[in-house]
Structure 1
Amino acid sequence: MPGQSAAVPPPPPNPSDGDISQANSAVTAQLGAVGALINQVASANDQLSKLDDAVAVKREDVNKALVDLQNARSAADVANAAVTASKQALSFATTEIDKAQKKFDGYAAKTYTDGGAASSIASYLGSSNPDEILDRAQALEMLSRSQQAVLDGLQRARTEEANKDSAARKSKQDADAAAADAESKKGAAEQAIATAQAALQQEASRKTQIEAQRDSAQSQLDAARTNVAGLQGQREAFIGWDNQKQAEDAALAAAADVAKQIAMQAIQRVAANQAAKDRAAELAAGQRPHTQVEDDNSTDQSSDNDSSDGDSTDGDSSDSTDDSGTSSKTTKSSQPTMTGSAAIETVIDRGMSQLGVTYAWGGGDENGPTLGIRDGGVADSYGDYRKVGFDCSGLMVYAFAGIGISLPHYSGYQYTAGTQIPSSKMKRGDMIFYGANGSQHVALYLGNDQMLEAPESGSHVKVSPVRDDGMTPYVVRMVS
C-alpha cells in the first residue's frame, strides 16, 4: 500500500530571470571598473619606477656635487697656502732689498761725504805704486758693480715673488669661486632630490589610493559574482525541488489513484458484505451514543454536540478521554463472530472504504462517520463540531464492528481491548498506539510499514508510513 504523506520540503527561493540578469550586469560593470583600476595601478607602478630612477640619478648628482665641493675646497686650501708662502717670500725679499739699499745708500753717502772724486783721487795718491793705484781702482769698481748686482738680484726676486703672490691670489680667487659653485650645486642637488622625493611620495600615495579603490572594486566584484552564483544556485535548487515536487506529486497522484481504487474495491466489498453490516448495526443498536451527556434513553445524537468537554457516559462504564477527548465505556469488547484472514481483511476493507473521509473530533461509530463534537480548543478552531467524519478511535470502532467486535470510543481503552503483542512483531490488522498507554492516537496496521489513520483536525482518513516516534511498546491484536 503506497504512502500518502508528502516528502518534499518547503520550496527554496526562486530568483527571477530579472534578478539573475541584474546580478550579471553588476558583475559586468564591476569587471570594467576593476580592469580600469588595474590599468591605473600598472601605470602608477611604471611612474613609480621612473621616479625611483630619477631619485637615484639625483642622489648621485648630490654625491657628484659633494665630491666637486671637496675638491674645490682642497684647491682653495692649496691656493691659500700658496698665497701665504708667496706673501712670506715677498716680505723676505722686500726686507733684503731694504737692507741692501740701506748699505748702498750708506756707501753712497760716505763717498759723497769723503768728497766723491777727490776721495777717489786721494785713494789713488795714497798708493805707493801704480799697481796699488790700479788695484784700488779695480776694487772700487768691483765693489760698485757688486752692490748694484745685489740690488738688481733682490729687485728681480721681489718682482718674482710679487708675480707669485699675484698668481697665488688668482688661484685662491678661482678656488673660492669653485667652492662657491660647488656649494651652490650641492644645494641645488639637495633641492632636486627633495623635489623628486616629494614627487615619489606623492605618486606612492596615489598608487596606494588606487590600490585601495582596486581592492574595494575587487571585493564588490567578488560579492557580485557570489550573488550571481548564489542566485543561480537558488535557481538550480528550486529547479531540483520543483522536479522533486513534480515527481512526488505524480507519485502521490498515482498513490491516490491506487488508494482510490483500493478504497472503491473496499467499498464494494463492504457494501456487498451484508453480514458485516448487520453485525455492526447489531452492535450499535440500543447503545447510548458516546457523545450523549444527558442520562436519558434517547439514542439520537445531539444536533450541535456542544458538550463543553466532549465526555460521555454509558451505563455503569467509567469515563475517560483519548486523543480526541471523547469518552466511552470500559466494557470489554464482544468476541468476534469470525476469525482468521477473512476477518482481518473485513476489518481492513471497512477501514479502507473510508479513505478521504473528513476528520471530525469525536466522530464515527459502528455504522460509519458521525457529526464531530466541540473540544473548546483546536477542534473547535477547525469547526469539527460542524463536520461529519471520524477521529482515530472512531475509525477503529467502525472497522472492527464488521466482525462483531465492539470497541470503546477511546484509544486508551482500545489499548487494553485485545492481546498486546510486542510492536516489533506486529502483523496486518493489528492496532498501533501512540502515547502513554495508547492515550494519544491509534491506527490500523496494513503491512509493508503502512498504516490507516484519521490523524488530526483539518486532515482526513489516509494511509501513512508507520511512525516509530512515540509508539507504544505493544500493538493490540483483536483477531488471530
Structure 2
Amino acid sequence: MRGTGALAMLVALGLATPGLGLAVPPPPPNPSDAELQAGRQQSQQAAGRVGELANRLAEAEAELIDLQARVEVSMEDANKARVDLKRAEGAYAEARRTAEAAGVEANVAGQRIEQHRQRLDRFVAGSYRQGSQIGSATAFVGSRDPQDVLDRALFLDVISRSELDVLDDLERARVEKVNKDSLARAALEEAEAKRRAADEARRAAERAEQAAVAAQATQAGQARQLEADQARVEAQLAEARSHVSGLEQQRGQYQDWLAAKEREEAAAAAAAAQSTSSSAPARPTAPASGRSVEVVVNRALSQLGVQYAWGGGNSRGPTRGIRDGGVADSYGDYAKVGFDCSGLMIYAFAGAGVSLDHYSGYQYQSGRRVPLSQMRRGDMLFWQTGGRVHHVALYLGGGRMVEAPYSGSQVRVTSVRYGGIAPYAVRVL
C-alpha cells in the first residue's frame, strides 16, 4: 500500500510539475465558438461583397463596351456630317458661280437689246421726219428709173423688218437669260439652305460625339473605381479568411493539447488503478459497445463528405435543407440536400431502431447522461452556450467524433472539441 501511494503521488506530481516526463505544456489559446462564428460571418460578408462588386463591375464593363460602340457610331455620324457639309459648300459655290454668270449674261443681253432698240428708234424717227414709213428720202437720191426706186424701197422695208426681227430675237434671248438668272438664284438659295442644314447637322453630330465620349469617360472612371473597390474588398476577404484560418488553427492546437492532456491523465489514472488493484481480485468489465452501437457508428460514417444543409436529414438519409432567415440562407442551405448535426444523429440511430427528434436540445434528453470521463463509442456529445444546447456529434472513441458541423462544410471526422462542451455525454444504447 505504501509503494502504491508513492507511485500515485509521483503520477500526480508528474501531471503538475514541469520538467517531468508526463507533464504537458501550458494550454495554447482557445478561440471561443463566438469568435470563430464572427470570423466566418465576416469572411462570408466580404465574399458576398466581392461577388456583388464583381457583378457590378461586369455590368459596368458591359455598359462601357456599349458606350464605346455609341462613340464609334457618333464619330462616324460626325464624319458623315462633315463630308455632307463639304459637298453642300461645293454645291453652293457652284450655284453661286452659275448665278453670277447668268446675271452677267442677262446684263449683256439687255445692253445689246438696248443698242438695237436705239438704232431702230433712230430709223423710225428718220422715216417719219421724211414723211415716209420706208425711211429717209435721201435713200432714193440718184435713182436712175422707177424700177430702181422700187428696188430701193423694197430694200429699206427688208432692213426695217430685219431690225425688228433682230430686236425680237434679242428680246427672247433676254427673257431666256432672265429666266436662267432666276433659276440660278433659286438654285443658289436652295444650295444655301442645304449648306446651312449641313452645317447644323455637323454641329449636332459633333455635340453628340462629344457627349458620347464624355459618357464613355465617366463610365470608364466608374469601372476603374469598381476595380479598385473590388481589389480592396478582396484584400479584406483574404485578411478575414486568414483570420478565420488562424482561429481554427488555434482551436485545433488547443484540441490537440487537450487530447494529449486527457491521454496523460488517463495514463496516470491507469497507473494508479494498476497499483491499487494488485491486492484486489480482478473484476470483469462490461463491453464498451455492442452490435447496435456499431450499426449506429457505421451509418454515421457512411455519410462522410455529404454537404451540410440546415434542417436536412431524416431516418432514410439526407434531405433538402430549410430556410433559417440568416446564415444558413446565405449559404443556400435551403437548396442543398444533406444533413445538419441533429439530422445526422436521426439517420445514424435509426439503424438501431431508435427514433430521435430533429432538435439537439431534445436529443440531449433522449438517453442516460454519463460524465465525459466515462464516455464511450456510440455516445452523443453536445455543446451549449448559456445553458442552451446548439450542437451534437457522435463519439467514436480515441478522442475522435463524427459530425455535420456548420453551413458550407461537410460531414466529417475530427477530434473532440472540449471548448463549450456539455458536461455529460448521452448514451442511448
| TM-score bucket (shorter structure) | 0.5 to 0.7
CA distance in 2, matches of 1:194, 1:6: 82
User: Measured at CA, do residues 235 and 212 of structure 1 come closer, stay the same or move farther in structure 2, by a change above 3 Å?
Assistant: same
CA distance in 2, matches of 1:4, 1:27: 43
How much has 1:123 moved relative to structure 2? Answer: 5.1
CA distance in 2, matches of 1:233, 1:85: 99
What residue number does 1:95 align with?
111
What residue number does 1:181 align with?
197
1:415-452 superposed Cα distances (whole Å, 9 cap, x missing partner) = xxxxxxxxxxxxxxxxxxxxxxxxxxxxxxxxxxxxxx
Point out the more displaced range, 86-95 or 195-204: 195-204
What residue number does 2:73 align with?
57
How much has 1:103 moved relative to structure 2? Answer: 1.6
The correspondence for 1:164, drawn from 154, 169, 180, is 180
Q: Matches of residues 77-96 of structure 1 in structure 2 within 5 Å?
A: 77-96=93-112
How much has 1:115 moved relative to structure 2? Answer: 3.0
The correspondence for 1:202, drawn from 214, 218, 221, is 218
Point out the more displaced range, 242-251 or 61-70: 242-251
User: Measured at CA, do residues 7 and 171 of structure 1 come closer, stay the same or move farther in structure 2, by a change above 3 Å?
Assistant: farther
CA distance in 2, matches of 1:118, 1:153: 22
CA distance in 1, matches of 2:25, 2:134: 159
CA distance in 2, matches of 1:112, 1:240: 148
The correspondence for 1:45, drawn from 61, 64, 71, is 61
Aligned letter for 1:174? Answer: E
Aligned letter for 2:151? Answer: D
User: Measured at CA, do residues 111 and 118 of structure 1 come closer, stay the same or move farther in structure 2, by a change above 3 Å?
Assistant: closer
How much has 1:246 moved relative to structure 2? Answer: 4.0
1:308-354 superposed Cα distances (whole Å, 9 cap, x missing partner) = xxxxxxxxxxxxxxxxxxxxxxxxxxxxxxxxxxxxxxxxxxxxxxx
What residue number does 2:227 align with?
211
Contact 2:134 2:156 in 1 (8 A): no
CA distance in 2, matches of 1:222, 1:118: 122
User: Measured at CA, do residues 119 and 43 of structure 1 come closer, stay the same or move farther in structure 2, by a change above 3 Å?
Assistant: closer
Contact 1:23 1:227 in 2 (8 A): yes
CA distance in 2, matches of 1:6, 1:173: 113
What residue number does 1:75 align with?
91
1:230-266 superposed Cα distances (whole Å, 9 cap, x missing partner) = 11111122222333444455667789999x99xxxxx
What residue number does 1:221 align with?
237
User: Measured at CA, do residues 186 and 126 of structure 1 come closer, stay the same or move farther in structure 2, by a change above 3 Å?
Assistant: same
Aligned letter for 1:221? Answer: L
CA distance in 1, matches of 2:37, 2:137: 141
Contact 1:23 1:224 in 2 (8 A): yes
What residue number does 1:134 align with?
150
Percent identity over paired residues: 38
User: Measured at CA, do residues 10 and 162 of structure 1 come closer, stay the same or move farther in structure 2, by a change above 3 Å?
Assistant: same
CA distance in 2, matches of 1:217, 1:253: 53
1:6-33 superposed Cα distances (whole Å, 9 cap, x missing partner) = 6744432211222111211222222222
What residue number does 1:115 align with?
131
SS at match of 2:29: coil
CA distance in 1, matches of 2:112, 2:213: 63
CA distance in 1, matches of 2:53, 2:172: 83
How much has 1:109 moved relative to structure 2? Answer: 2.4
What residue number does 2:384 align with?
none
Contact 2:53 2:229 in 1 (8 A): yes
Q: Matches of residues 455-474 of structure 1 in structure 2 within 5 Å?
A: none
Contact 1:4 1:256 in 2 (8 A): no
Point out the more displaced range, 217-226 or 140-149: 217-226
Contact 1:4 1:255 in 2 (8 A): no
User: Measured at CA, do residues 117 and 164 of structure 1 come closer, stay the same or move farther in structure 2, by a change above 3 Å?
Assistant: closer
1:97-124 superposed Cα distances (whole Å, 9 cap, x missing partner) = 1221222122222223333259667756
What residue number does 1:34 align with?
50
1:90-149 superposed Cα distances (whole Å, 9 cap, x missing partner) = 111112112212221222222233332596677568632343233212211110111111
Aligned letter for 1:141? Answer: D
Point out the more displaced range, 228-237 or 5-14: 5-14
SS at match of 1:84: helix
Aligned letter for 1:238? Answer: Y
Contact 2:95 2:188 in 1 (8 A): yes
1:150 aligns with 2:179: no
Contact 1:4 1:252 in 2 (8 A): no
How much has 1:74 moved relative to structure 2? Answer: 0.3
Q: Matches of residues 384-399 of structure 1 in structure 2 within 5 Å?
A: none
CA distance in 1, matches of 2:220, 2:139: 103
Q: Which has the larger radius of gyration?
A: 1
User: Measured at CA, do residues 105 and 252 of structure 1 come closer, stay the same or move farther in structure 2, by a change above 3 Å?
Assistant: same
SS at match of 1:4: coil
User: Measured at CA, do residues 231 and 144 of structure 1 come closer, stay the same or move farther in structure 2, by a change above 3 Å?
Assistant: same
Contact 1:14 1:235 in 2 (8 A): yes
User: Measured at CA, do residues 80 and 216 of structure 1 come closer, stay the same or move farther in structure 2, by a change above 3 Å?
Assistant: same
Uncovered stretches (5+) of structure 1, i.e. residues with no partner = 262-480
CA distance in 2, matches of 1:24, 1:231: 10
CA distance in 1, matches of 2:245, 2:133: 136
User: Measured at CA, do residues 110 and 119 of structure 1 come closer, stay the same or move farther in structure 2, by a change above 3 Å?
Assistant: closer
CA distance in 2, matches of 1:192, 1:124: 86
1:190 aligns with 2:206: yes
User: Measured at CA, do residues 122 and 55 of structure 1 come closer, stay the same or move farther in structure 2, by a change above 3 Å?
Assistant: closer
How much has 1:189 moved relative to structure 2? Answer: 1.1
Contact 2:126 2:136 in 1 (8 A): no
User: Measured at CA, do residues 205 and 4 of structure 1 come closer, stay the same or move farther in structure 2, by a change above 3 Å?
Assistant: same
1:57-100 superposed Cα distances (whole Å, 9 cap, x missing partner) = 11111111111100110000001110111111111111211221
Contact 1:127 1:133 in 2 (8 A): yes
User: Measured at CA, do residues 119 and 187 of structure 1 come closer, stay the same or move farther in structure 2, by a change above 3 Å?
Assistant: closer
1:266-295 superposed Cα distances (whole Å, 9 cap, x missing partner) = xxxxxxxxxxxxxxxxxxxxxxxxxxxxxx
SS at match of 1:11: coil
Aligned residues: 259
